[in-house]
Amino acid sequence: MPSGRTHDRITLYALPFVTGVTFWQTHSGNVTLLVAGGFLFGGLMFGPDLDIYSVQYQRWGFVRWIWLPYQKSLRHRSFLSHGPIIGTTLRVLYLGCLLGILAILILPIATKLWNVTFTWEDLGAIIERSLTAYSTEFLALFLGLELGAMSHSLSDWSGSAYKRMQKQGVRGLLSSGKIKKRKATSRGSSRPKPKTSKNRTK
């Protein structure tokens, strides 16, 4: 598995390519900026390795503790964290839920301190209007986050596949899962043989 610095280099080296292809396809500076920004954020801070104590996790600074429940709930390199689309979607929903809990705590305090007449219906209407009016922008941002996460996951998978090929050749790519199962069963079935007492001659 590549190190954190290697993942960072892959993200930074791929950023001009992602930016150029996006602008070539969309001819929009705003969409290109969102995709590129999402790609950079997804590769450096919002990637699959938030499920362990990684460089991405440490970059969240004093608020990195918010990812501890996420880490405890998922196994490292599972499909829910490193899988295509579902990994990014789960992290977006997780962070969105945390922001929603924060809003629940802050909104009543703000209404009492500053006498703001702001209700939950108003907040829901604002969110709904934003999602409808800026659907293209949200989609571009999500695409950037997904590309950044996938650059990380693909480098992990390709690195592991390369190591298996070095050790076992092409057979390592085809039968890696079977070999692991066989090793597990062989370890579990190995029991010490009972000692047989020899007959003593008088």
Q: Is residue 160 part of a domain?
A: yes
Q: Is residue 127 part of a domain?
A: yes
Q: Is residue 134 part of a domain?
A: yes
The pair of structure tokens assigned to 80 is: 């829910």
The string of pLDDT tens digits covering residues 161-177 is 556 666 666 565 565 44
Q: Is residue 198 part of a domain?
A: no
Residue located via tokens 């604002």: 126
Q: Is residue 27 part of a domain?
A: yes
Please tell me the distance from the alpha carbon of residue 30 to that of residue 139, in angstroms, as a whole number. 12
Do 147 and 35 contact (CB within 8 A), yes or no? yes
Q: Is residue 24 part of a domain?
A: yes
Please tell me the distance from the alpha carbon of residue 96 to that of residue 84, in angstroms, as a whole number. 19
Element at 93 (helix H, strand E): helix 86-113
List C-alpha distances in Å: 177 to 159, 172, 181, 183.
Answer: 16, 9, 6, 10
Instruction: Report phi then psi at 91, rounded to 5.
Output: -70, -40
Q: How confident is the model at residue 155 (pLDDT cuts 50, 70, 90)?
A: confident
Q: Is residue 191 part of a domain?
A: no
The string of pLDDT tens digits covering residues 3-35 is 667 888 899 999 999 999 999 999 999 999 999
Domain assignment of residue 30, given as a range: 4-174
Please tell me the distance from the alpha carbon of residue 67 to that of residue 48, in angstroms, as a whole number. 12
Amino acid at 21: V
Please tell me the distance from the alpha carbon of residue 1 to that of residue 7, in angstroms, as a whole number. 10
The string of pLDDT tens digits covering residues 65-93 is 999 999 999 988 889 998 999 999 999 99
pLDDT for residue 201: 44
Q: What is the pTM of this model?
A: 0.74
Q: How many domains does the chain have?
A: 1
Q: Is residue 169 part of a domain?
A: yes
